[in-house]
Amino acid sequence: MEIRALLKRPLVTVEKDVSIREAARKMEKEDVGFLVVVDERGQVCGVISERDIARLIAEGVDPDKTRVGDVARKEIITINYRDPVSKAAYLMKKHKIRHLVVVDDEGKPIGVVSVRDIVDLEIALENLSKVSELSEEEEEQIYTSPIKVTT
């Protein structure tokens, strides 16, 4: 399976001049844990994650005065949208990260894939592969609620 099958939403970015607090608010609003940081021309200049923000706050950085562009990680690990999911898992393990920026054939970012996307996929595929292996009794247990409703 290719990475593009895991892309669920458009790329979420944040401008490098916004504060850490504003970036955290954007993460909350967009329900993401990772943002691609862009400059005034829209060019990628870094990435920042929830964990990065938590670490910065723990270190005493002022979230209102510190700009995302000043603290964003500049080393951006990318994966092509046509690469296999197994390569994403390998890169995440190798670099000890939870997110990869997905790029098109020209290297332009088009999305982000997270470790949760991969784990959810693996769990779903594992569960689907077991469906045909269930006995009639197991199937009955799945579809019959153990809760008894009385009036």
Query: Each residue of 70-85: pLDDT tens digit?
Result: 999 999 999 999 999 9
In a domain, 140, yes or no: no
In a domain, 75, yes or no: yes
Classify 98 as helix, strand or coil. coil
In a domain, 53, yes or no: yes
Q: Which domain holds residue 35?
A: 3-131
- What are the tokens at 5? 């099958």
Q: Which CATH number goes with the domain that contains 63?
A: 3.10.580.10
In a domain, 54, yes or no: yes
* pTM score of the predicted model: 0.75
Please give the Cα distance from 78 to 131 (Å, whole number).
Answer: 35
Question: Comparing 40-54, 78-92, 104-118, 131-145, which segment has the lowest mean pLDDT?
Answer: 131-145
What percentage of residues in the chain have a pLDDT greater than 70? 79
In a domain, 107, yes or no: yes
In a domain, 148, yes or no: no
Domain count, the chain: 1
Contacts of 87 (CB under 8 A, 6+ apart): 3, 79
Residue pair 63/57 in contact (Cβ under 8 Å)? The answer is: yes
Sign of the dihedral defined by the CA atoms of residues 116, 121, 122, 126, in that order: positive
- What are the tokens at 127? 């569960």
Q: What is the pLDDT of residue 139?
A: 56
Q: What is the pLDDT of residue 141?
A: 55
In a domain, 150, yes or no: no
